[in-house]
Amino acid sequence: MAQTFVIGPSIGVARLGNSPGQFYVEPETIAGLPLECDAQGNVSDPASLVRKFKDGQGRVRRQAARFRVFRLDGAGASREVTLKDRDIAHIRWTVHLANKKAAWYQFSELEGNLLHGQSNSYEARKVARRNKGVTVKKERQRLLIDPGPRTLDGPGLVAHFDRASVPANYKFASFPDAVTLGDRVTTLGEARTDKVGRLLVLGGLGRSGGNKPIVSFAGADTWHDDISDGPVTCSLSLKSGETVTLRAWCLVGSPKFVPEIANVTTLDDTMYDVAVRHLGLAPDMFSRGRYNRNYIANFDRDVRPILERPAAYRWVANIPSLNSLSPPPFAPRDASAAAAPLRQAYLAFFREPGPEGAVAASHNALFSKDAFPLMPLNSGSNSVSDIGVDKFLTLTETQYFLLRQWADGKFTTDPPPEPADPIRLSRASTGNCVGAPFCPGIEVTWSVRNPNIYDAPWSIRHRDDGNLYVKVGLDPSRDETADKGGCEPGDLTKRMAIPWQADFFECSVQTINFTDPGRNTNGDIPLPPTYYAYWWPPQSPWQVISGDMTAAAQHASGNPAGIQVMYSRGVDSFEHMIKLWSYLGFVANQATGPHRTLFPYFTEQERAHDKLPQTQPGVGANALIAVAAEAAVAPPGERMVAFETSRQRGRVPGAR
């Protein structure tokens, strides 16, 4: 029987942390806990799940992306391949991470997105480059953080992505100079192999630095951070003499402070949508430019996540209307005609996505005809500026199609077939990232909607496997979405905020005008009247439940257990977030037992109360002080104007 080899996951996700020595392995399920490992990245069998996300000194542990090789037979079954296999001679890994942010264009919402046509290119829209005073190409190349490639051939190895270990033949390595604000970036992390040759990639230490004050969620010139991404290549040598080259990609994102809650639209959903509509993944569902209205959706695989994910938002944001919607207040697995009116009514509460490359009227509508807020109740990809207004979020086209099939009764409740391990791991890895909205996003942005960057479903197209970069280095100005030439190291993250903490500080809520489809702003503030919507609560929480269960912890926090508190309390500026991000808490399900996912109880844990100022109502005697302070509050009208003005000027954490 014919066999092939692949890497799983095809896109792995590492996450920053300021703990230099302690890390864990990324989750292998969507909204699952990460896996514990030893210092070399070996995971026990069965795996132990992570319960503590910080080390003994209160520093955030990094998340490693773990890449494995799998053998696929002709029937689609998979089996992992390691150095213990008798027919394997070598597993040789090469990783090239880079950060291109400082050399790319200023983030300008949807401008530059070529899915909206060539008239929306950066050049046509006259979008300025970051650090535009640097004009010579070689000097702009030095704006990149590029440590060059690292190769590991064998078990138990370590290779650092720092200046000290740049390969002798790589002449284009570059790192930032010393800074006056924040911290200088000196490394993008390291790569390791475990005892049987699996690859683990760890990102940076959460360091960000620059020389100019930050005044916007998009960041500022002169700044760098240690976010990165890049290609992973495996040269698999068989004892038969055959050598196979395999490819994957690694993303390095910011910490996921709520690992067990997924976004309504994940990066997996977005990549699945691209694969269905452009890469021929499911021809029985979509072919010749249209969906098959007779397609039978699978309830558990295709529909249930859409129905149930919004319910978990209650642990990270106060959204009462979601409590009415999710989970549905009827039997959603009932495919009978008698239940059809309820399914159709439910579908009507979701905005219908417009065609690709366009913002339809539905994207800017707030209420249904029955005066219920339309879903998802998140901001769209541009509720910030008046150019390319996209006020409210929609599902992907494929998500909406599958929900419509369910509403029409065209679905089955049979168990879905199990995917092969490489696909399962790829979908889990991307399923724990944000897939919408993109303004710019958390891990990546709207470029992942462009089919040009893929060579297969969940597979990023490589521009080169290394020889080109050794000769000429990385290109600081090439747009990888313009053609099918492939991605370079740093391409997937270069559009993100610089530093990432700037966007994280202002990326929780948004007040959005809901009366004028063509406008978002009125000078320095959102155009009234506005509605209070959210960005990415599972990645950037807004309100959480205090979980301090001892007298000492409550004395330090000033809060009783069970009270709803602002997640980012004590952080009131860009500068604070850059310095204090690692003191924020993780929000974790404290319920135990076999039914913990059915009956969850999410609370904030591991917050460094002694490092962050407390601004919430207190416990005991402290409560009297808080009550007295609350008495001197401005009238409602004055508070609204002050809030909107402060929000636009970056003084209200979590709001743009």
Cα dihedral 231, 34, 598, 305, rounded to 10, equals 0
Nearest Cα residue to 654 out of 538, 567, 524, 531: 567
Confidence of residue 620 (pLDDT cuts 50, 70, 90): very low
Confidence of residue 232 (pLDDT cuts 50, 70, 90): very high
Sequence-ordered alpha helix ranges (H) in 412-512: 421-431, 467-472, 500-505
User: What integer pLDDT is reported at residue 654 of this predicted model?
Assistant: 57
CA–CA separation, 167 and 310 (whole Å): 47
3-class DSSP state of 547: coil
Residue 630 pLDDT > 90:
no
CA–CA separation, 96 and 149 (whole Å): 4
Q: Is the peptide bond prior to 327 cis by the omega test (within 30 degrees of 0)?
A: yes
Q: Tell me the average pLDDT across 19-26.
A: 98
Q: Which range among 21-25, 54-58, 66-70, 532-536 shows the weakest confidence by mean pLDDT?
A: 532-536
Token pair in block for residue 265 = 């639209």
3-class DSSP state of 194: coil
Q: Which range among 345-349, 541-545, 652-656 shows the weakest confidence by mean pLDDT?
A: 652-656
Confidence of residue 2 (pLDDT cuts 50, 70, 90): low
Cα dihedral 429, 431, 432, 438, rounded to 10, equals 120
User: What integer pLDDT is reported at residue 655 of this predicted model?
Assistant: 60
* pLDDT tens column, 375-434: 999 999 999 999 999 999 999 999 999 999 999 999 999 999 999 999 999 999 999 999
Cα dihedral 171, 172, 173, 174, rounded to 10, equals 140
β-sheet bridge partners, residue 150: 95
User: What integer pLDDT is reported at residue 171 of this predicted model?
Assistant: 97
User: What integer pLDDT is reported at residue 637 of this predicted model?
Assistant: 39
E strand intervals along 337-493: 379-382, 390-392, 411-412, 454-456, 459-460
User: What integer pLDDT is reported at residue 656 of this predicted model?
Assistant: 64
With a pLDDT cut of 90, the percent of the chain lying above it is: 85
3-class DSSP state of 66: strand
Sign of the alpha-carbon torsion through 311, 312, 313, 315: positive
CA–CA separation, 31 and 512 (whole Å): 29
Give every CB contact of residue 275 below 8 A, 6+ residues apart in sequence: 281, 282, 454, 457, 458
User: What integer pLDDT is reported at residue 559 of this predicted model?
Assistant: 92
Q: Which range among 64-73, 410-419, 568-577 shows the weakest confidence by mean pLDDT?
A: 568-577
User: What integer pLDDT is reported at residue 463 of this predicted model?
Assistant: 98
Sequence-ordered alpha helix ranges (H) in 68-219: 122-125, 137-141
Q: Tell me the average pLDDT across 240-253.
A: 97
Confidence of residue 286 (pLDDT cuts 50, 70, 90): very high
Residue 632 pLDDT > 80:
no
Q: Which range among 294-303, 443-452, 528-537 shows the weakest confidence by mean pLDDT?
A: 528-537
List the domain boundaries for the chain: 3-259+432-502, 267-421, 503-648
With a pLDDT cut of 70, the percent of the chain lying above it is: 93
User: What integer pLDDT is reported at residue 508 of this predicted model?
Assistant: 84
Sequence-ordered alpha helix ranges (H) in 392-511: 397-407, 421-431, 467-472, 500-505
Pairing relation of β-strands 297-298 and 411-412? Answer: parallel
Residue 639 pLDDT > 60:
no
Q: Tell me the average pLDDT across 513-534.
A: 91
User: What integer pLDDT is reported at residue 524 of this predicted model?
Assistant: 79
User: What integer pLDDT is reported at residue 208 of this predicted model?
Assistant: 98
Confidence of residue 614 (pLDDT cuts 50, 70, 90): low
User: What integer pLDDT is reported at residue 405 of this predicted model?
Assistant: 99
Q: Is the peptide bond prior to 529 cis by the omega test (within 30 degrees of 0)?
A: yes
Confidence of residue 623 (pLDDT cuts 50, 70, 90): very low
* pLDDT tens column, 111-151: 999 999 999 999 999 999 999 999 998 999 999 999 999 99
Judge contact between 350 and 400, C-beta under 8 A. yes
Q: Tell me the average pLDDT across 16-36.
A: 98
